[in-house]
Structure 1
Amino acid sequence: MVQRQFPRPAEVFELLQFKKPEFNGRKRRLDKALTIYDLRDIARRRTPRAAFDYTDGAAEGELSLERARQAFEDVEFHPSVLRDVAQVDTSTTVFGGPSALPFGIAPTGFTRLMQTEGEIAGAGAAAATGIPFCLSTLGTTSIEDVKATNPLGRNWFQLYVMKQREISYALVERAAASGFDTLFFTVDTPVAGARLRDKRNGFSIPPQIGAGTILNAIPRPWWWYDFLTTPKLEFASLSATGGTVGELLDFAMDPTISYEDLRIIREMWPGRIAIKGVQNLEDARKLASLGVDGIVLSNHGGRQLDRAPVPFHLLPTVVREVGQDVEVVVDTGIMNGADIVASIALGAKFTLIGRAYLYGLMAGGRQGVDKTVEILSDQIVRTMKLLGAHSLEELTPHHVTQLERLAPVRRS
């Protein structure tokens, strides 16, 4: 028989700790987020559908994005045991400089559309954490303002070679003058992908307000208050070039881009140059032979060619073939620190996060981006400790198996 007694208040309060109420709504929401998907759920609740879908969506049937995320989930880890992992080192060097973590913030266009703090929140979080921040040609904060936000940190610039080449050349010169150390020459956008969510939402840039927009905005007045009471949404680094936003978008996509453009830009740029949007081994080999500093395996977050190759699947082969000559970076589909650890183990020098950063931004501005970095950092450290790896250098292909869900059809 169990002996029973009347509860003693002092003993009960030893077992129960009452949580102090948090009156700051933003902090309360973010404190509950344990994963990037949690931040995505918060972002979806707080952002008008058209703006959220512009961020969350991909091209056509969105198969490229779905497959990229699935590829990371189809990973089997192989841990080593009985290793002292009380401390692990997550720092690395990439493109000639340091990063406290093996990921940086990817370039994203029209970032202030998602939340008014935009690139300032991303650059500020990167500065505080010691990771690189990459500004897009189609960013909504200027090159100079990003530098002012992250004056001592690493700033990178992503370049679209525009139809009016002089616009692109001027951006290269401004980024160099502002001390940006690496240029991402983007090659996967000869034309824009078909982003069907935007078309179904009647979404345009700049946003046009219709009855559906108003109805969807009613439960989100804070977003509209920020949008309507802050500086005009525009391509900040292109604001002096003339033309409407739509015309500038059209200028940004040029089907005539070629290796000659790469040669010209490379001669202009004094820092490191990486080619973003590489999606096959043949192109990786050719670019490596030209002596570029890096290759970013990317299908543009699934926003260009649907059914494009999965960058994470390409990674081992490309690293094996050209990894001694160039630094290989991977993006698209990263939603967990374990995705980053798996990429480093398979030979990536570095990774980039796009939507994961934007979900945090939409969920809570600068604090939300800080939360994104915190979640991914914690997941990286925990995964490394459970694998028995003290540093990124100790991660090897032996730690990872890429499980096959999609395999090429064997033809006779």
Structure 2
Amino acid sequence: MTVITTIEDLRRIYRRRAPKMFYDYCESGSWTEQTFRDNTSDFTKIRLRQKVAVDMSNRSTASTMVGQPVSMPVALAPVGMTGMQHADGEILAARAAEAFGVPFTLSTMSICSIEDVAEKTSKPFWFQLYVMRDWDFVGRILQRAKDAGIDTLVLTLDLQLLGQRHKDLKNGLSAPPKPTLANLINLSTKWAWGLGMLATPRRKFGNIVGHVQGVSDPSDLMKWTAEQFDPQLDWSKIERIRDMWGRKLILKGILDVEDARMAAKIGADAIVVSNHGGRQLDGAHSSIRMLPSILDAVGDQVEVHLDSGIRSGQDVLKALALGAKGTYIGRAFIYGLGAMGQAGVTKALEVIHTELDKTMALCGERDVKNLGRHNLVVPHGFEDPAVLM
């Protein structure tokens, strides 16, 4: 029996159990994958300051994210097609997050619908919106989110068009998937996954199929999706969505100081420093490298969170110590989900929490809210985006 102590342990199990096309969808970036790799490797360049002879008892990782109490400042990031990584994946991940006391963010491109997840959970989750050309759809999905009791919208800004993801193209991963012969053979070997998918009725994009005029089957969906991401999304449209929503708004995909200033100016409750996990603009800086300059620019005006590259509780601590008020895990929880279902998501959260808690103590802190740059050793030039390391 495998003893799971790290997120990497979960990734190895996930790789064995998930179909290759969905593993590749999760574990890849765009073009050369330089940014995908930098997202994780840049965390290793920041070192921690050890402190001794301090009281390490009565520790707390509790905090808030956009005013919501959390057991630790970690949210589950929106991940498209989570319900293809494991049957009913969004429901299982939402339940695990709710029990652990952290936010779950449902993607527009989820398999389980807003209504499915709301019916199977007892507390409000967050909803992530991709802006489509069809404003009637945008208005109706926002209303559906409100009707489900959701009060926090995560608006993704960095996917007006898809970055070229070579593995997805080679695997025939589209909406819906069109697997190659090699992937069909691979699918036939994933018995547990296949049985789970056969047992659930949730195998389509639940937020779209049946909710868009003219989209009633997978072929309609593929055509609609290919045409719908809005390439004309600009700040005026973001303000329009802000006004349509009228509740808490988080803007995700900020990687530039001027964009951060605009996000603060239009009244976002929080921004997420993110490069979409390295799946959009390859060659961009890692999120952790851009975090300090964005915090310097707007950290006193808007709550700043960080996404992309987090694989451990130590990564969470480094982001918080630099000044982020919250963090997001995407791949880390998908590894757990694909490996062990809901129990795997819980295990991923437990691993992150244990690492955060113990590292915080060894850095001489008892409360996660007291973390700061005094806990870090940051290499010269790391905080200057103009310096290539």
TM-score range, shorter chain: over 0.9
Work out the CA distance in 2 between the residues paired with 1:266 and 1:405. Answer: 36
Equivalent pair of 2:88/2:202 in contact (CA under 8 Å) = no
Equivalent pair of 1:143/1:237 in contact (CA under 8 Å) = yes
Work out the CA distance in 1 between the residues paired with 2:110 and 2:348. Answer: 20
Residue 82 (structure 2) pairs with residue 111 (structure 1): yes
SS of the residue 2:207 aligns to? helix
Deviates more, 1:374-383 or 1:196-205: 196-205
Corresponding position of 2:204: 234
Deviates more, 1:351-360 or 1:282-291: 282-291
Corresponding position of 1:340: 316
Residue 357 (structure 2) pairs with residue 387 (structure 1): no
Work out the CA distance in 1 between the residues paired with 2:243 and 2:175. Answer: 34
Q: Following superposition of structure 1 onto structure 2, how do residues 233-312 of structure 1 map, counting pairs within 5 Å?
A: 233-240=203-210, 241=212, 242-243=214-215, 244-312=220-288
Equivalent pair of 2:285/2:385 in contact (CA under 8 Å) = no
Gap change, CA 1:319 and 1:405, over 3 Å in 2: closer
Equivalent pair of 1:189/1:304 in contact (CA under 8 Å) = yes
SS of the residue 2:309 aligns to? coil
> How far apart are 1:405 and its partner, in Å?
8.9
Work out the CA distance in 2 between the residues paired with 1:252 and 1:303. Answer: 19
> How far apart are 1:410 and its partner, in Å?
7.4
What are structure 2's unaligned runs of at least 5 residues? none
Work out the CA distance in 2 between the residues paired with 1:387 and 1:409. Answer: 30
Residue 355 (structure 2) pairs with residue 355 (structure 1): no
Equivalent pair of 2:96/2:346 in contact (CA under 8 Å) = yes
**One-letter code of the match for 2:238?**
L
Corresponding position of 1:136: 107
74, 87, 90: which one pairs with 2:61? 90
Gap change, CA 1:410 and 1:47, over 3 Å in 2: closer
Work out the CA distance in 2 between the residues paired with 1:53 and 1:338. Answer: 25
Structure number, greater radius of gyration: 1
**One-letter code of the match for 1:126?**
A
Gap change, CA 1:410 and 1:69, over 3 Å in 2: closer
Residue 132 (structure 2) pairs with residue 159 (structure 1): no
352, 362, 379: which one pairs with 1:376? 352
The alignment's C-alpha RMSD in Å is 1.9
Equivalent pair of 1:330/1:350 in contact (CA under 8 Å) = yes
What are structure 1's unaligned runs of at least 5 residues? 1-27
Work out the CA distance in 1 between the residues paired with 2:159 and 2:5. Answer: 34
Equivalent pair of 1:90/1:100 in contact (CA under 8 Å) = yes
Equivalent pair of 2:172/2:179 in contact (CA under 8 Å) = no
Work out the CA distance in 2 between the residues paired with 1:160 and 1:214. Answer: 30
Aligned residue pairs, count = 381
Work out the CA distance in 2 between the residues paired with 1:384 and 1:408. Answer: 27
> How far apart are 1:92 and its partner, in Å?
0.7
Work out the CA distance in 1 between the residues paired with 2:359 and 2:120. Answer: 32
**One-letter code of the match for 2:167?**
R
> How far apart are 1:238 and its partner, in Å?
1.3
Q: Percent identity over the alignment? A: 36
Corresponding position of 2:138: 168
Task: Provide runs of 4+ in structure 1 moved above 4 Å.
Answer: 404-411
Corresponding position of 1:199: 169
> How far apart are 1:404 and its partner, in Å?
6.0
24, 31, 37: which one pairs with 1:60? 31
Residue 375 (structure 2) pairs with residue 399 (structure 1): yes
> How far apart are 1:204 and its partner, in Å?
3.4
Work out the CA distance in 2 between the residues paired with 1:201 and 1:209. Answer: 6
Q: TM-score, normalised by structure 2?
A: 0.93
Corresponding position of 1:18: none
> How far apart are 1:201 and its partner, in Å?
2.4
Equivalent pair of 1:105/1:354 in contact (CA under 8 Å) = yes
Equivalent pair of 1:158/1:186 in contact (CA under 8 Å) = yes
Work out the CA distance in 1 between the residues paired with 2:119 and 2:281. Answer: 35
CA deviation string 1:16-53 (max 9, x = no partner): xxxxxxxxxxxx44xx2211111111011111211110
Equivalent pair of 1:109/1:139 in contact (CA under 8 Å) = yes
Work out the CA distance in 2 between the residues paired with 1:355 and 1:119. Answer: 14
SS of the residue 2:341 aligns to? helix
Work out the CA distance in 1 between the residues paired with 2:314 and 2:45. Answer: 11
Work out the CA distance in 2 between the residues paired with 1:313 and 1:95. Answer: 23
Work out the CA distance in 2 between the residues paired with 1:112 and 1:408. Answer: 37
